[in-house]
Structure formats: structure tokens, C-alpha cells
Amino acid sequence: MAIPSTPFILLPLFFFFFFFSVSSTTFNIVDFGAKPDSKTDMSKAFEEAWTSACRASTAATIYVPKGRYYLSTTTFNGPCSNNDITMHVDGTLVAPSDYGVENWITFRHVDGVSVFGGVLDGQGAGLWDCKNSHKSCPLGATSLEFSNSKNIIVSGLTSLNSQMFHIVANGCQNVKMQGIKISAAGNSPNTDGIHVALSSQVTIISSSISTGDDCISVGPGTSNLWIENVACGPGHGISIGSLGKDVEEDGVQNVTVKTTTFTNTQNGVRIKTWGKPSKGFARNILFQDIIMNNVQNPIIIDQNYCPNNKGCPGQVSGVEISNVSYQNIHGTSATQVAMKFDCSSKFPCRGITLEDVKLSYKNDVAEASCSNADGTAAGLVQPSSCL
Ligand SMILES: *[C@@H]1O[C@H](CO)[C@@H](O)[C@H](O)[C@H]1NC(C)=O
Ligand SMILES: *[C@@H]1O[C@H](CO)[C@@H](O)[C@H](O)[C@H]1NC(C)=O
């Protein structure tokens, strides 16, 4: 049998490598001098790898191998020459524990960025101790923020012990977060799991969040948010709000929270507004197929938020809440009042619907409480509706 001459073997190989090299260039952060010694600041190496990926005219991958990389403030700025950058992280990124930085890892003005895998270690425990002992403490950093960006995927990321919020999408369009694991102590202050504000088309799916503040918080200017298959607890639940802090404020609309379980949380599904004038609103909201396990306030609308009674006593919320549906919500309340609608006396809640809700308290029927709330109930609703 004749052995093919070398060109016949090399030619297909050449085309193979040519094809893959134009389709994606890989930048390994080790080639930019990064070492996983968990103490030397590697933010320059990460930013330089980012700059190379961002300048590439075609799709680019940044690879972070296994190991612990210490990073101070690290910013990945766009716009870029291509809109297909993947950050593939097998390692752990470690934050400064002196809390000197206001933001830790931030993507700004990027379009088409995917982050796969990775562990973020926010090292927040010392700061939480400081805050819990009522000393004056630094604010601490959000671990990962996307700001003014679009077409973002975050998949399989773990975020541990953030100093402040774990993950933030602010001013973004089309963000998909999936398979996210967030973990911080149940008494850690301000460690919201995922915070979304001024953003549209954000989906958060198949994720588990244990933290000391809201598992997911939804700020003003959010629309088309989809949350599905999330396990929350411990934490303060999923909260739309706080809304209405400012007079001029964008509303929240078209939010779906479905197939979600709350375990030992302070709240389940909550809408929360400041008790003072605002042009904000919350409308077209659906909470569906939800299980509550020992939740203090499983279903709650609170329009009288006024921390430390500063700047709002005697005022009422201007935020108009309408078209909010609760469907197929079952489980146990840790307090007697399982369903509370405490709405604005000036702008009562309108169009609240309850359908197949069954919440018990100590093996008995729980209670519902309504003020300034209007709506309808269908199917089995326990505690019986006060709308
Ligand atoms: C509501 O949001 C979902 C996804 O988040 C989207 O598919 C749907 O089109 C939105 N509806 C409206 C009326 O914008
Ligand atoms: C009420 O909200 C739901 C989404 O939760 C939406 O599909 C429906 O169109 C809204 N109804 C009105 C009258 O806006």
C-alpha cells in the first residue's frame, strides 16, 4: 500500500488549524505573567489579557487555569473590536480582604461577553464582623458587576462571601445567568445575591443562592426579567425594590418569578417601596409555582419602607403597583401572617390576583392582612383572601 506523501497529510491539518485559529484566539493569562500564588496582585495581567482579547478582530477566549489568583480592582472596559469574548475560568479569583476597593471585578460598555465557570472569593467575613458590631466600616465592594453592557452570558460561576452585592447587572440588555451558585453567611449584611437595575431582558435560571440579604433584588428601571428554577435561602427572598426612593424614578415591569423554592428566608416574594412621593411603578408581575419552607413573610407587599424613620414619616408611597399575580404558591409560613398587602393609601394596589395559594402556619391555617389592596381570588386560596 502506498503511503501518502507528507503534503497530503499536512494540507488538511493546515486547514484544520487555520480554521480554528481564525475562529477564536486564546489568550492564556499565564502568558501575561499571572501566577496563582494567592497573594501577588494579578489585576494588570488580567487587564492586559482582556485588552488583547478586546482588540482582536475576531472571537477571542481568555483562559484562566486552575489556582488562586489575587486581584485588586480589575476593570474590563469596552467597546471592543469583536463582540464574542469568552472568559473560561478554571481558577479562583481572590479579593483584597482590606475592603479598600469600591468595585472589585467590573465589565463596562461590553457587548457579547460570556463568562464560563470560575469561583469568586470576596473574602467578606471580616467586613461583615465590622458591620455587625456597628462600628463605622468601609462599604466594601460588589464582587462582579456588568454595567452599560449587552449580550452577556454568565454560566456555572460560583460567588462566595462577597463584601457587598455578589453580582450586579446595571444598565444592561440581554443578560443570561445560569447555573450560578452564591453563598454567604445568613447574617452577612448587604450581600445581595444578584441585583438587577435599569436593565431589560435579563434571565436568571437554575441557580442557588444562600446569603444574608436579598437572594435577588430588582431595582428601578428593570423590565422583562425572567427568574426560573432558583433555590433561595437563607436570605431575604426575592424582592422587587426598594422602589420609590427618588421622586423621578423609572418603573419595573414584566417580571416573572417561577418554579422557585424559598427555605428559611425572611421573605418569599416581596414588593417593597419607600413610603414617600415618587413617580415609580411596578406592574405586570407574575409569581408562579413557588414553594415556601418556613418563610417569615411568604407573600408581602410593603409600601411603608422608611429605614430609621428618616425622611419619610407621615408620607405615603407614590409608587403605583398593579397587575400582580400569585399562582400556585404552597408551603409553610414561619409567622401567623403569611400574606400581607400593605399598599399606599394614595395609590392603592390594583389588579392583584391570587390563584391556588395554600400557606400554613404551625399546621394550621395562616392569616392574610390587607390595606389599600384591590384584586380577585380564584381556586383554593388559604389563608382566605382579604382583597
Ligand atoms: C416579558 O418578558 C419576557 C422575557 O423576559 C419576554 O419574552 C416577553 O416578550 C416580555 N413581554 C413584553 C410584553 O414585553
Ligand atoms: C398582566 O401581567 C401579565 C404578566 O404577568 C401580562 O401577561 C398581562 O398582559 C398583564 N395584563 C395587563 C392588563 O396589562
Residue 18 CA, distance from chain mean position? 40
Q: Is 254 in the pocket of ligand 1 (CB under 6 A)?
A: yes
Cα torsion angle, 207, 224, 150, 236, sign:
negative
Segments in the chain below pLDDT 50: 1-4, 6-7, 21
How many Cα atoms sit within 13 Å of 147 on the Cβ side? 12
Separation of alpha carbons 374 and 16, rounded Å: 65
For residue 252, being part of any structural domain is answered with yes
- CA–centroid distance, 280 to ligand 1, in Å, is 20
Q: Is 16 exposed, middle or buried (0-12, 13-18, 19+ CB in 10 A)?
A: exposed
Give the residue numbers spanning the domain of 275.
Answer: 78-382
Q: Is 226 in the pocket of ligand 1 (CB under 6 A)?
A: yes
What's the pLDDT at 146? 98
> 58: Cβ–Cβ under 8 A, 6 or more apart, which residues?
22, 23, 24, 25, 82, 84
For residue 176, being part of any structural domain is answered with yes
Q: Is 97 in the pocket of ligand 2 (CB under 6 A)?
A: no
For residue 95, being part of any structural domain is answered with yes
Q: Is 286 in the pocket of ligand 2 (CB under 6 A)?
A: yes
For residue 16, being part of any structural domain is answered with no
Q: Is 284 in the pocket of ligand 1 (CB under 6 A)?
A: no
Helix (H) or strand (E) holding 287: strand 281-295
In eight-state DSSP terms, residue 246 is S
The single residue listed with the C-alpha cell 403605583 is 320
Give the start-end residues of each E strand in 122-162: 142-147, 150-155, 158-160
For residue 152, being part of any structural domain is answered with yes
Cell, residue 311: 425622611
For residue 97, being part of any structural domain is answered with yes
* Beta strands 216-218; 37-41: pairing state: unpaired
Separation of alpha carbons 121 and 354, rounded Å: 41
For residue 137, being part of any structural domain is answered with yes
List phi, psi (to 5°) of 52. Answer: -65, -45
> 98: Cβ–Cβ under 8 A, 6 or more apart, which residues?
none
List phi, psi (to 5°) of 54. Answer: -70, -30
Pair 344, 318: CB distance under 8 Å:
yes
- Please report, for residues 92, 181, 188, the alpha-carbon distance to residue 184 in angstroms, rounded to integers and kept in the order given: 16, 10, 7
What's the pLDDT at 14? 52
Q: What is the CATH number of the domain that holds 128?
A: 2.160.20.10
In eight-state DSSP terms, residue 307 is G
Pair 148, 142: CB distance under 8 Å:
no
Pair 319, 280: CB distance under 8 Å:
yes
What's the pLDDT at 101? 78
Compute how many other C-beta atoms are within 10 angstroms of the C-beta atom of residue 253: 18
- CA–centroid distance, 222 to ligand 1, in Å, is 12
Which residue type occupies 162? Answer: S
Cell, residue 239: 424582592
Q: Please, which residues bridge with residue 181 across strands? A: 158, 208
Helix (H) or strand (E) holding 15: helix 6-23
What's the pLDDT at 24? 80
Q: What amino acid positions are annotated as catalytic residues?
A: 236
By alpha-carbon position, which residue is closest to atom 10 of ligand 2?
284
Q: What do you get for the CA distance between the two ends of the chain, in Å?
A: 87
By alpha-carbon position, which residue is closest to atom 2 of ligand 1?
224
What's the pLDDT at 333? 98
For residue 254, being part of any structural domain is answered with yes
Cell, residue 47: 487587564
Task: Count the domains in the chain.
Answer: 1
Mutate to test the pocket of ligand 2, among 284, 287, 355 (most ligand atoms within 8 A of CB): 284
